[in-house]
Amino acid sequence: MGDTRYLAWPFFESQHAQFAAALDVWATASLGHTAADHDVDDACRRRVRALGEAGWLQHAVGGKQWGGAADVIDTRSICLARETLARHDGLADFAFAMQGLGSGAITLAGTDGQKSRYLPRVARGEAIAAFALSEPDSGSDAAALQCAARLNGAHYVLDGEKTWISNGGIADFYVVFARTGEAPGARGISAFIVDADADGLEIAERIDVIAPHPLARLRFTGCRVPVEQRIGAAGEGFKLAMRTLDVFRTSVAAAALGFARRALDEALARVTTRKMFGGVLADLQLTQSSLAEMATTIDSAALLTYRAAWQRDQGQSVTREAAMAKYVATEGAQKVIDAALQLWGGMGVVHDVPVERLYREIRALRIYEGASEVQQLIIARDLLRDVRPSTP
Ligand SMILES: Cc1cc2nc3c(=O)[nH]c(=O)nc-3n(C[C@H](O)[C@H](O)[C@H](O)COP(=O)(O)OP(=O)(O)OC[C@H]3O[C@@H](n4cnc5c(N)ncnc54)[C@H](O)[C@@H]3O)c2cc1C
């Protein structure tokens, strides 16, 4: 499983090292790119099922009573899970992450009825979850969302669109954030569970991206959702979306770390075998400089990632720390992967070799769940709040 010395860092307890080792053994035996993966929907469904059957998805939901591994989601475990899965297979990491993100609002604020209906199936890999916040005209400025939910008797009626929805088209249910209008802006949004077969919900478009995974634009036209499907209080939906993202933001950094570690492994394998100038590529000092940069970038990202995860597991706020981890790990992984591809030379740009796949996999992580610029703003705002308490 590569270099595991970091698992001895003081951020971890003994069960974390055991967890990472066991998942690595399972992933080695069970995962990997296969010829059947040309059908990305099917590939994703198979991974959700396999992760569920093996028990790994229990870590993505909270509440032992509802099938979770613990009552509160352990940030270090989800980070180790994503790092390990990303090192083996980007789609498996995606499948794990979306089960957590898609059901996170239910874990955090669902009623017992909602939890019992959805969470055990999510944890067993029997129901696929999705998180629907972004819209064509509101991405980074998520509080500007326009999808409307009007209360009409015992139902809300949803009208509008959501886009870039991961698992769109294969999800069994969507957690949808829509404007209910209790107040302007962020305080007038509520969260709903919408079953995929609800009348008035359609997949308006499937979106094909550079690292294929199920992604869609959803359209709601007079879609009736029972009041009991609202999660939390009316008007509290935006806060709930942010709390959900807060649980999983550090895990995006961990996924980037997994991609970067795999890139370094691939680079080391290549430079020690590629014959060149009477020796191998690794003999050249410029190669060694590149390897040193890669390893140092990875350790910097890992330190920030597991500091944020540990701090969150201590019950402390991690606004600044999670933003630093996501920013440094995703930007750093892009550089590490690019360097690995360079060391592979022409072989590195051949479609579907591991470094080429990683090159495509990493790109979206610098954009979703808060683009790098948004993370910089969060860090700066937090810094300024310390010296200028009136900063919003
Ligand atoms: C592969 C993928 C999967 C996704 N999955 C989901 C999902 O499951 N559910 C969901 O709801 N959404 C999902 N998204 C949407 C994602 O969260 C948005 O793409 C993201 O929030 C950015 O929004 P946008 O694409 O509209 O870009 P825009 O908001 O138009 O931003 C464009 C660029 O502007 C820059 N920028 C943004 N804010 C600032 C600022 N304040 N200052 C300076 N520059 C700035 C950044 O570089 C950013 O990339 C996904 C996106 C991708 C690419």
Tell me the CA–centroid distance for residue 274 and ligand 1, in Å: 39
How remote is the CA of residue 228 from the centroid of ligand 1, in Å? 30
Render pLDDT for 33-51 as a digit per residue (tens, 0 to 9).
665 678 999 999 999 999 9
368 CA to middle of ligand 1, Å? Answer: 5
Torsions phi, psi for 196 (to 5 deg): -60, -25
**What confidence score (pLDDT) does residue 36 get?**
62
Specify the ligand 1 atom closest to the Cα of 102.
Answer: 8
pTM of the model: 0.96
Pocket of ligand 1 (CB under 6 A): 131-134, 139-140, 164-166, 209, 215, 364, 367-369, 371, 373-374, 377
Smallest CA-to-CA distance from 323 within 257, 385, 370 is with 370
Asked if 213 contacts 166 with a C-beta cutoff of 8 angstroms, the reply is yes
Which residue owns the Cα nearest ligand 1 atom 32? 140
Q: How many CA atoms lie less than 13 Å away from 197 in the CB half-sphere? A: 2
Residue 366 CA, ligand 1 centroid: distance in Å: 9
Measured in Å, residue 142 CA sits from the centre of ligand 1 at: 9
Determine the atom of ligand 1 nearest the C-alpha atom of 211: 1
Q: Which atom of ligand 1 is nearest to the CA of 98?
A: 8
pLDDT tens for the chain, 392 residues long, are 677 899 999 999 999 999 999 999 999 999 876 656 789 999 999 999 999 999 999 999 999 999 999 999 999 999 999 999 999 999 999 999 999 999 999 999 999 999 999 999 999 999 999 999 999 999 999 999 999 999 999 999 999 999 999 999 999 999 999 999 999 999 999 999 999 999 999 999 999 999 999 999 999 999 999 999 999 999 999 999 999 998 999 999 999 999 999 999 999 999 999 999 999 999 999 999 999 999 999 999 999 999 999 999 999 999 999 999 999 999 999 999 999 999 999 999 999 999 999 999 999 999 999 999 999 999 999 999 888 877 66
Structure tokens at 302: 């890992």
Quick one: which atom of ligand 1 is closest to the CA of 130? 8
Q: Whose CA is nearest to atom 31 of ligand 1?
A: 140
Distance, CA of 118 to CA of 114 (rounded, Å) = 6
Pocket test residue of 368, 372, 379, 381 for ligand 1, highest count of atoms within 8 A of CB:
368
The total of other beta-carbon atoms located within 10 Å of residue 311's CB is 18
First-last CA distance in the chain: 44
Nearest to 108 by CA among 225, 248, 224, 235: 248
User: What span, in angstroms and rounded, lies between the C-alpha atoms of 278 and 224?
Assistant: 71
Residues serving a catalytic function are: 369
CA atoms of 211 and 123, how far apart (whole Å) = 25
Smallest CA separation from ligand 1 atom 27, residue: 139
- Report the Cα 102 to chain-centroid distance in Å: 10
Q: What is the residue with the minimal CA distance to atom 4 of ligand 1?
A: 164
| Closest C-alpha among 254, 237, 258, 249 to residue 379 | 249
51 CA to centre of ligand 1 in angstroms: 28
Name the residue of 96, 103, 131, 134 to mutate for ligand 1: max ligand atoms within 8 A of Cβ.
134
Atom number in ligand 1 closest to CA 366: 49
- Nearest-CA residue for atom 50 of ligand 1: 164
CA distances from 114 to 106, 121, 192, 229, 230 (A): 7, 12, 11, 7, 9
pLDDT in tens, 37-87: 789 999 999 999 999 999 999 999 999 999 999 999 999 999 999 999 999
Asked if 339 contacts 267 with a C-beta cutoff of 8 angstroms, the reply is yes
Ligand 1 mean position, distance from CA 134 (Å)? 8
